[in-house]
Chain A
Amino acid sequence: MADKKPTHKGKMVPLPSRSIVPERDVHTRPVLETRHLGIDFGGLTAVDDFDLTIGRTEIAGLIGPNGAGKTTVFNLLTKVYQPTRGTILIDGMDTAGKTTSQINRMGVARTFQNIRLFSNLTVEENVKVGLHNQIRYSGLEGVLRMPSFWKKEKLAHESAMGLLSLFDMQDLASHQAGSLPYGAQRRLEIIRALATNPSLLLLDEPAAGMNPSETAELMENIVKIRDTFHTAVLLIEHDMSLVMGVCEGICVLNFGRIIAKGTAEEIQANPVVIEAYLGKKKEA
């Protein structure tokens, strides 16, 4: 890992709540803070005692073996599931009783492991749906085609095209989203999430199904997104080259519990993590 780009990484410092954030984010309010977060399905505890703090400009990773509860954590953070225990603070505000759409309006956007696009709409319309709460006009204005309709639609078109150009997708704007190749669908999902102007972007296996060169490009894009949109990123990923290359703080989950937190170097050297992934060393 000698060729790692040090530009987007900083020194990590410990916080009182057993978490770490990049040194530059210590003096700002964390974008996300969870305390003792947990959920039970029937008698089964899927996630328990999940404490995580993410700094305002941090790129963080959530890793763990299959079935560790990583996607469940995302579903808890976005209130697709209601937590059984614990609190989630977004920008310091409690999210108890909030719905998924309210969480988005508080500044958390996400992508899905199994892609969820609006497949019958065009690529541009998908992004415009993401802009729904950014560029607003009433249904009546739309039906009567008042001047504000034309103005806002033009603005929405320009914003959508601007966002699409981020991943060089503006030529695909009039294509049906469901007909796009797999990689383009993943990129469109990220663009749609960015359109909601988030302060925290949750990416669920963004590199799944990508080849090494596409993954390398994605890595650069994640840093670019953080820098241009001023958003923190939390990503779930099995591709360790991506996680170790781009994530500042890494959190390892196994059987619903955090088994390690730290920088890439710390995680790679952690015997508990190695055991979780590779199994216990046989006693000789």
Chain B
Amino acid sequence: MKKLNRIKATTKVDFATYLGVTLAFLIVSALQSGGMLSNAMNSWLVPICCFIVMAVSLNLVVGISGELSLGHGGFMSVGAFSGIVAGMSLAEAIPLAPLRLAVAILVGAACAAVAGFLIGIPVLRLRGDYLAIVTLAFGQIIKDLITCLLVGYDKDGLHIVFNLDGLRTVSDLHLEEGGVAIIKGAQGAVGITKMSSFTAGYILVMVTLVIVLNLIRSRTGRAIMAIRDNRIAAESVGLNVTKYKMIAFVVSAALAGAAGALFGLNYSGLVSSRFDFNTSIMVLVYVVLGGLGNIWGSVIGAAVLYALPEALRGLQDYRMLIYAIVLILVMLATNSDQLKGLLGRLIPGRKEKTNG
């Protein structure tokens, strides 16, 4: 018991998060193999994993780094389409599907990280509302750029054309015989081989949690949170503010890219308008309702709030109405001091915890 007390409260919360996610995965897998899940429910599993990763990574920027970003869907989009291109074009080079999926996710993460870095250079010079508006704009720009993108591959490698004048078609890719067009502009990506699985989703969620939680509990994470709490004081103790804001932004973008790649390879076709402003806002809702800076809150928020509107599909027109009411109720409940006091008594150690 003495030894248990020496373990920090934050460490306990982290392990509870890993344990909870693993238990949920095992239970759902068991239900799935027992045939207890409907087809519709089966189809939610991978997207739920993707949006958990999205919410956790956005929380790194909004909750931990304290900058409101409204363009997270844009990074998911970059990851999705670069992941699809990698997954499709490497079909011969890497015959093993799970390995190819892993490579595709890494490619998606890398491309989104580059996009995050390039966007971060101008955006992180801004603060507050201005930063939010500019990230919103970049999210839209990414979406529109991908709408103009034509990508195909043949035995010579990848062919990429930007259809900026709106006149080019797939034939402008000049593919050799046997070549395949992967991304066809506004039609989006078509004929994708589905590679994603629930297990892959679970692994990605766990990797994301380990990266984000370990980062927060390290020297780097402390620096990021210190800058959030007081920028001038952080500078006065020798922190390089731009560097740490950039680290949070790029890591977040990379994880969103990984989630995008997994998401993209879960469908046979995908259009770039799937990652519009609404997607970014939806992820932000998961983060805010789960609690800013609260990682396990993001996990639960994303899982519940993704499943809820899907589960309400049977109610047709009333679906979004009920969803909205639930959102309002959750906000009221999480802001009530009585409920917080109740939680504080139910979960020991909750009061000491500051970020988690």
Contacts and interface: CB of A to CB of B under 8 A. Distances in A.
Given A139-B218, A139-B220, A149-B218, A118 B229 contact: yes
Interface in B259-311: 293
A100 B222 contact: no
A272 interface: no
Interface in B325-356: 352, 354-355
B233 A116 contact: yes
Given A128-B219, A137-B219, A145-B214, A120 B354 contact: yes
Given A128-B219, A129-B237, A195-B237, A118 B225 contact: yes
A200 interface: no
Nearest to A193: B237
A101 B214 contact: no
A119 interface: yes
B221 A142 contact: yes
A116 B215 contact: no
A87 interface: no
Given A130-B237, A176-B354, A193-B237, A117 B230 contact: yes
Name the residue in A112, A125, A192, A196 with the highest tally of chain B Cβ atoms < 10 Å from its Cβ: A125
Nearest to B247: A139
A114 B221 CA distance: 25
A105 interface: yes
Contacts of A122: 354
Nearest to B66: A120
A174 B352 contact: yes
Contacts of A166: none
Nearest to B210: A143
A132 B239 contact: yes
A133 interface: yes
- In the complex, which range does the number of interface residues on chain A fall in? 35 or more
Contact of A133 (B9, B222, B238, B247): B238
Contacts of A208: none
A78 interface: yes
Contact of A112 (B218, B229, B233): B233
Q: Is the interface of B mostly helix, strand, loop or mixed?
A: helix
Interface string A59-96: 00000000000000000001010000000000000000
Nearest to B225: A121
Contact of B223 (A109, A119, A129, A143): A129
A45 interface: no
Contacts of A132: 219, 222-223, 237-239
Contacts of B218: 137, 139, 141-143, 149, 153
A121 B222 contact: yes
B232 A80 contact: yes
Nearest to A129: B226
Contacts of B355: 120-121
Contacts, number: 113
A117 B233 contact: yes
A82 to B, nearest CB: 13
Contacts of A104: 235-238
Looking at B215, B222, B239, the one whose CB has the most chain A CB atoms below 10 A away is B222
Contacts of A121: 222, 225-226, 229, 354-355
B4 to A, nearest CB: 15
B217, B219, B236, B355 — which one has the most chain A CB atoms within 10 A of its CB?
B236
A135 B229 CA distance: 21
A171 B15 CA distance: 26
B145 interface: no
A109 B235 CA distance: 10
Interface string B97-138: 000000000000000000000000000000000000000000
Contact of A142 (B219, B233, B238, B293): B219
Contacts of A193: 236-237
B232 A143 contact: no
Contacts of A130: 237
A136 interface: yes
Nearest to B216: A142
A91 to B, nearest CB: 15
Contacts of A128: 219, 222
A257 interface: no
Nearest to B212: A143
Contacts of B221: 142
B234 interface: yes
B32 interface: no
A261 interface: no
Contacts of B354: 120-122, 176
B226 A100 contact: no
Contacts of A78: 236
A120 B223 contact: no
B238 A101 contact: yes
A130 B233 CA distance: 10
B94 interface: no
9 contacts: A80-B236, A101-B236, A101-B241, A104-B238, A121-B225, A121-B355, A125-B222, A139-B219, A196-B237
Top 8 A-B pairs, shortest CB-CB distance: A142-B218, A104-B238, A139-B220, A116-B233, A100-B235, A118-B229, A129-B226, A118-B226
Given A120-B293, A122-B354, A128-B222, 17 more contacts: A80-B232, A80-B236, A99-B235, A101-B241, A105-B238, A110-B236, A118-B233, A119-B230, A121-B222, A129-B226, A129-B234, A132-B223, A133-B238, A143-B215, A145-B214, A193-B237, A196-B238
Interface of B: 9, 210-211, 214-215, 217-223, 225-226, 228-230, 232-241, 247, 293, 352, 354-355
Interface of A: 78, 80, 99-102, 104-105, 109-110, 112, 116-122, 125-126, 128-130, 132-133, 135-139, 141-145, 149, 152-153, 156, 174, 176, 192-193, 195-196
